[in-house]
Amino acid sequence: MARRKPAHRNPGTKSPAPARSDSGTRGAGELRIIGGDWRSRKLKFPDAGGVRPTPARTRETLFNWLAFHLAGSDCLDLFAGSGALGLEALSRGAGHATLVDHTPALANALRTNLRLLKSESGEVVCSAVEHYLAQRQRPPFDIVFMDPPFRQGWLERLFPLMEAQGWVKPGGWVYVEHESELVTPAVPATWHLHRQKRAGQVTYSLFRVQAEGLSE
């Protein structure tokens, strides 16, 4: 879940827009799980940096794409924010999810929500994403969710880092959201576009990661 940023702003400043629920209500700071064991559970998160959960319709499409690959999977939710993607994955049968966000208030809320859900399958890491990805010290993931702040060049910086450090298993999946006016940045040669859709100002894509030298 990304922090939505205006097109013209000074680097390092936060968007003044308040947090929104998946129903679009300003300032609600509420996430609703839409499928799986925790379906219809509502969770609170703080108004920090313009966080907005990935919309319910987009999540439904994404998890339909992943329906046959999610059970027991090891997932990484980068820029986790409200936890919309990582928590939804756990609700739908993922074996484990690591949720990474650099904002302490959001990381604390994620830990609180995992306790409320009585889940021991989620791990919260309060860290800058680039720092977390810089050196892999654990097995690669089956699925990675990436919904970074817009118009800051994150994807161009993170794609090569993820490839160099081998963060995704061969046969794994990478989900990406970016602003629709941006052409999808070049991805590593082993990533193959599986599905792509546009919803308003957001384009979202799912890539399959192949073993180097093998075709899909």
pLDDT in 10s for each residue of the chain, 216 residues: 544 433 333 333 333 333 333 433 344 489 999 999 999 999 999 987 677 778 999 999 999 999 999 999 999 999 999 999 999 999 999 999 999 999 999 999 999 999 999 999 999 999 999 999 999 999 999 999 999 988 888 999 999 999 999 999 999 999 999 999 888 889 999 999 999 999 988 999 999 999 764 444
pTM: 0.85
Q: Is 91 strand, coil or helix?
A: helix
Q: Is 105 strand, coil or helix?
A: helix
Cα 119 to chain centroid, rounded: 19
Distances (CA, A) of 193 to 51, 127, 160, 171, 216: 27, 29, 16, 13, 10
Q: Is 102 strand, coil or helix?
A: coil
DSSP state of 1: -
